[in-house]
Every structure is written in structure tokens, then in C-alpha cells.
Amino acid sequence: MATVTKAFAYVRVSGKGQVEGDGFRRQEAEIEAYAKGHGYEVAHVYREEGVSGTASEADRPAFQDMVSAILRNGVRTIIVEGLDRLAREYRIQESLLIYLASKGIALIAARTGENVTEAVMADPMRKALVQIQGVFAELEKGLLVKKLKVAREAKRAAEGFCEGRKAYTKESLPEPHRMALEAIRKLRRVKPGQKRKSYVSIALELNSMGLTTLKGGTFTGTNVQSLWFRYRAFI
């Protein structure tokens, strides 16, 4: 029996009007056809709705959610219809590919069948960039761990203890959280027969409404889901 490898599909449309068009359906059909013919099972489809092809990974909520899921669950392959669906601008393509390669994630273009990250690693110069990014990622992580350890030790020495972040109560819930939760509750309501919106879709709507996270940042599918499950009982 042939071995089946799990993969994630990544699809993107740049305009809000394209979300309801056939862009997603066309991309998903191409990806599914490639997967079936080459021993892959599409475990989940990540839809980047209304995101420009020139946006970096920081401005792609579905991309962030996908990479986060990959690093948690062991899926190591992403299939896109073509590189233009990953990004239209070469600089952004290169940045995203180097990022994926540094995490050991394979990206396959269904239209050509090319393992793009494998091709990146075959190029000595691009491989060096991947390795440099990996080194700096590890260095950054190490410095952060050390910084947190020093802070905990300083607080413990000064106060005799060092506890984690306190959970909010219903009364102490910050106003940005309360506003976001109220909006999430409304956006999650569905009529019989309707499909509930994804957390990524909700995040995009919260951002378009001008709502922000507690630190003033934009919402992603991941932090919307976390906020909802942690504090939904408070509203």
C-alpha cells in the first residue's frame, strides 16, 4: 500500500471581492488534484482572504496560523497552486521561502510539481541565507530565554517569589478585550444552515473595525481563538 503524506494547502486571494469568486475553488482544485496524484493527503486548507501578494509573513494571519500548526503537529509540507499565490513580488517570495526552509518545511507548487524549498537548498547562496536565518532565530530564542530567566531571578530576589501572569477576572477584564469579545460573539452567530466564520475571517473583520489587541497589535486567527476560549464566559 502506498504511503500517504499529510500536507497543508495554502490559498490566497488579494481582493475582498475575490473571496466570493472562484479564486479559492480553482486553487484548491489544482492542489487537490496534485495531492491525489502524488501521494499527499490535504489535512487542512488555509485561506488568506483579501491579502496582497506583496504582504510579508507578519501581515498574513492564515500563513502564521499554518506555520504555527506545522510546528506543533508534525505536518512538514505545504502545497500551493503556484508561487504567485504565495507572493507576487520576488523579494517577498524569497523571504517566505527562506523562512520556510529554515524551519524544515517543504513548499510544493502544484502547477509545476516543483519542490521549491528543495530547489532553494540546492542553491549555495540561498542555502547560506537559510542557514544564517536559522542561526539568528536560535540566537534570538536563546537571548529571550536568558532575558526572562534573569528577570525572574531578579524579581524572586526582590520579592521572594515570582509568579506567572495573573488571569483576568470578569471585573478586571481590560476594555480592548471586552470590545473584541463582544464583536467576536456577534461574528460567530449563525442562522440555521449557515457555516460559522473561521477565526481567521473574524480576525480580519476585527482589524477592519479598528479593534486591536491589548498591546495595540492586529488580530490573527490564533489570538482570536485564544481570547475567545479563555474569556468567552465573561460576556
- The answer for residues whose C-beta is within 8 angstroms of residue 215's C-beta and 6 or more apart is none
What spatial distance separates the first Cα and last Cα of the chain, rounded to whole Å? 51
pLDDT at 141: 57
pLDDT at 77: 95
Domain covering 5-122 assigned CATH 3.40.50.1390 in the classification: yes
- Integer Cα distance of 6 and 35 in angstroms: 9
pLDDT by residue, tens only, the chain of 235 residues: 567 899 999 998 876 555 556 788 999 999 999 999 999 999 999 988 877 767 666 678 888 888 888 877 778 999 999 888 888 777 788 888 888 888 888 999 999 898 888 888 888 876 776 566 555 545 555 656 676 677 777 766 666 555 555 567 888 889 989 999 999 999 998 888 888 888 888 988 898 888 988 888 889 988 899 899 888 888 8
pLDDT at 202: 92
Give residue 12's identity as a one-letter amino acid code: R
- Integer Cα distance of 169 and 165 in angstroms: 13
Count of helices and strands (H, E) across the chain: 9, 5
Structural domain boundaries in the chain: 5-122, 127-164, 175-234
Q: What angle do the packed helices 175-188 and 221-231 form, to 10 degrees? A: 100
pLDDT at 117: 87
